Amino acid sequence: MNELDKRKREIEERIQAACDRAGRERSSVQVIAVTKSISTERTEEVVRAGYVQLGENRPEGLMEKGSHFPEQSVEWHFIGNVQSRRVKDILPHAQVIHSLQTMSVAKQIENRAERVIDCFVQVNTSEEDSKSGLAIDEVKPFIEQLQSFERLRVVGLMTMAPFTEDEAIIRQTFRTLATLQREIEALQLQHAPCHFLSMGMSNDFEIAIEEGATHIRIGTALVGSESGGSL
Ligand SMILES: *Cc1c(COP(=O)(O)O)cnc(C)c1O
């Protein structure tokens, strides 16, 4: 078994265990394999290992890899900061954008997209200045302003936990996001079903699953880092 298959098996075991602890079905959690730190060749191996939902955080990476793989063989998730002038580069490849947080980007999507784009609104749950995302009390007003947009659907909320070893803090940020997601879901807005929670990365995906994550974004734990040896 190669290194990637080993890592995949280990991650799958940990996902299953977290689902068991939380009384959840494994099928309720989708894994987005974050390929931002690896080459197109190594991304091919990730796809061969069975991952079809892939994440990139820079337009360049998305454009290069997005045009490499046949359409419909993989689904690209854009997880990085979006600048409005780059929306036109992202749209041809990204099925899902996890990091919507400004009206100018929303308008670019509305004006340029040729189909409905599923978006997560990024939330700064830790209120760290260094983290991007809307403040918690900005989220609902922002989503309400998108009501008339026809090419953009808010499918959920996304966050990144603060950089800390303190599990209680990480858990609390995920719980805060889950609470907000349920509140917005309960509004039953047509343009914002908001059923999903994109949270959890290599270091904290088990906590995220326990707190309700539907999409976890796994990079280094799956693919290693480019400097850190082979797949
Ligand atoms: C890089 C990145 C990830 C994956 O991080 P790992 O710690 O390598 O798993 C997830 N989400 C976002 C937004 C990222 O930029």
**4-45: pLDDT as tens digits:** 999 999 999 999 999 999 999 999 999 999 999 999 999 999
Helix segments in 153-196, DSSP class H: 167-186
CA atoms within 13 A on the CB side of 82: 30
Measured in Å, residue 152 CA sits from the centre of ligand 1 at: 24
Task: List the residue whose alpha carbon is closest to atom 4 of ligand 1.
Answer: 219
**Cα maximum dimension of the chain:** 51
Q: Residue 121 has which token pair?
A: 């609104």
Measured in Å, residue 135 CA sits from the centre of ligand 1 at: 20
Q: Is the CB of 158 under 6 A from ligand 1?
A: no
Q: Is the CB of 218 under 6 A from ligand 1?
A: yes
| Amino acid found at 160 | M
Q: Is the CB of 202 under 6 A from ligand 1?
A: yes
pTM: 0.95
Structural domains in the chain, CATH included, are 3-224 (3.20.20.10)
- Residue-wise pLDDT tens digits, 65-108: 999 998 889 999 999 999 999 999 999 999 999 999 999 999 99
Atom of ligand 1 nearest to the CA of 225: 8
Distance from C-alpha of 213 to C-alpha of 53, rounded to nearest angstrom: 16
207 CB contacts (<8 Å, ≥6 apart)?
A: 161, 167, 170, 171, 174, 200
Mean pLDDT, range 127-156, rounded to an integer:
92
Q: Is the CB of 200 under 6 A from ligand 1?
A: no
Quote the strand ranges of the chain, DSSP E.
Answer: 30-34, 53-56, 75-78, 94-100, 117-123, 152-159, 196-198, 215-218
Distance from C-alpha of 108 to C-alpha of 151, rounded to nearest angstrom: 10
Distance from C-alpha of 3 to C-alpha of 21, rounded to nearest angstrom: 27
